[in-house]
A and B are shown apart, each in its own frame.
Chain A
Amino acid sequence: MSHSLTLTINGTRQDVTLDDPRVTLLDLLRERLDLTGTKKGCDRGQCGACTVILDGRRINSCLTLAVSCTGSEVLTIEGLAQSDGLHPVQAAFIEHDALQCGFCTPGQIMSAVGLIMEGQAGNDAERVREAMSGNLCRCGAYAGITQAVLAAQARIGEAA
């Protein structure tokens, strides 16, 4: 049995037909829609590399069935930069050297975008670290990541 769904991905409405209900949102993005910026790390919800924003909230796309997302809006790393340049979180990651190998970076950045939207951490580094604990970085760029999140949040706050 095939499943028809409609998703808005990075602002563009897409109709998708799935022949298998087992496809996760992560595999839909990577394998069927060629949006490979979202990474598959553990595929079990432990590493955060697959983080995307689903209907305004950050989630692990590896633990989400695509069929259950019909009608939803998805924001991935590919949808972040606008014509006038990088998103403030992307810019801050570069500025603060918040990565080494870069594999976890799309997930870190999407998680940071979600964190800032949630508005719970404030300028408290400890709250930022706790709120980013669902994203692992095997290179250990955590210090830079925390600085980048705080800097981006301040910049977005000034702009608002």
Chain B
Amino acid sequence: MNLFEYQRAATVAQAVASGESEGAVFLAGGTNLLDLMKGNLVRPARLVDISRLPGLDAIEFLPDGGVRVGATVRNSDLAHDKKFAKLFPAVAEALLSGASAQLRNAATVAGNVMQRTRCPYFYDAASACNKREPGAGCDARGGHTRLQAVLGWSEHCIATHPSDFCVPLVAFDAVAEIDGPQGRRDVALETLFLLPGDTPHRETVLAAGELITAIRLPAEAAGFAGHARYMKIRDRTSYAFAVVSVAAGLRIDDDRIVEARLAFGGVALKPWRAREAESALVDRQVGRDTFAEAAALALRDAKPSGQNDFKIELARRLAVRALTLAAAGSLARSAPLPASVVNLV
């Protein structure tokens, strides 16, 4: 780990000013950042500690039916907030299916959004990685590709975004509230993340000094509360990143789908919203054939980035499963193994 200057910000304005300087990085829960720093993969000149900024740790239910979650709310606190879990069950399920209890207790919601890819070549300082060093090349290409992207990748980067939480957030039109040197702005979470193209080192649209202060879910997201699920395939039953995951939400009127939401995790460098598939589900009867058609449409443009063709079929099948379970109804309480397909409940 390199030596850095440590600063604790007292206000958002101070954090933004301090975060704008060359090499500055915001520190909140630190669960991903400290890990990266220990591997010398991230070498910040300055850490701006925002973990105790006043006013950023509240879950605020808005008069219009939406919710504003402060940037430093811990993952576990949000998942276990009864009202939040009732209104946004797929989000709670996704949160509880990620990491371990210790990590969820420390990691913040904005930190979850800003976490870096878990591509093993990004994590190995001896490997070439265009994210770490623009122009260096990508050793993942032709390497171990089992868990790499099947959508939106480029020859410069085939990594995936590791978050569970962000998948239902993107499905349900979450917005990041951002404060920065140029003032405040809202960015739809779906557009916050950048696909790799030929600039994989650029991961989000955030400029230097810009700080996520809250994540907002609109009232419409709660309209799916009765039929929303998150499903996750992982290589071990607990405490593992997704091979593939799916967030599905339906509004159903007498077996007819009124509105649908569908997004995938583990398939691309951002949570992948499947809008065409969503449209194709509207006005259709709930049922396996309908869901299979939508799943096929969602993965139509997918292509393997190596020896990972299996992820495409796996994603299709998981989408059918998630839609089927969403149609059956949200869980009153998250299952013992949240979001796992091995749940029999």
Contacts and interface: CB of A to CB of B under 8 A. Distances in A.
Interface stretch (B28-36, B165-173, B190-198, B248-256): B28-36
Contacts of B38: 43-44
B80 interface: yes
Contacts of A21: 3-6, 47
Interface of A: 1, 3, 20-22, 24, 43-45, 48, 51, 54, 57-60, 62-65, 67-68, 111, 114-115, 118, 120, 124, 126-127, 129-135
Contacts of B6: 3, 21, 65, 67
Contact of B336 (A51, A57, A115, A130): A130
A68 B49 contact: yes
Contacts of A62: 34
Interface string B98-124: 011111011000000000000000000
Given A58-B105, A59-B106, A133-B237, 17 more contacts: A21-B4, A21-B6, A44-B35, A45-B102, A57-B74, A57-B105, A57-B106, A60-B103, A63-B106, A64-B30, A65-B27, A65-B47, A68-B8, A68-B49, A127-B336, A133-B239, A134-B103
B7 to A, nearest CB: 10
Contacts of B238: 129-130, 133
B101 A24 contact: no
Contact of A63 (B34, B74, B337, B338): B34
Given A127-B336, A133-B238, A58 B101 contact: yes
A124 B102 contact: no
Interface string B206-244: 000000000000000000000000000000011100000
Given A68-B30, A111-B101, A118-B101, A20 B3 contact: yes
B341 to A, nearest CB: 14
Contacts of A127: 336
Nearest to A61: B102
Given A51-B102, A63-B30, A120 B80 contact: yes
**Contact-size category for B:** 20 to 34
Contacts of A54: 106
Given A65-B6, A126-B337, A22 B1 contact: yes
B330 interface: no
A65 B27 CA distance: 10
Nearest to A43: B38
A54 B30 CA distance: 14
Interface in B36-53: 38-39, 47, 49, 51
Contact of B106 (A24, A43, A60, A115): A60
Contacts of B336: 124, 126-127, 130
Interface string B3-27: 1111010000000000000000001
Contact of A134 (B27, B101, B338): B101
A134 B100 CA distance: 5
Chain A CB count within 10 A is highest, among B5, B6, B102, for B102
A22 B3 contact: yes
Name, among A48, A62, A68, A124, the residue most crowded by chain B CB atoms within 10 Å (CB to CB).
A68
21 contacts: A3-B6, A21-B5, A22-B1, A22-B4, A45-B103, A48-B100, A60-B102, A63-B30, A63-B34, A63-B35, A63-B103, A63-B106, A65-B6, A65-B27, A65-B30, A68-B27, A68-B51, A118-B101, A129-B238, A132-B101, A134-B100
Contacts of B30: 63-65, 68
Contacts of A1: 5
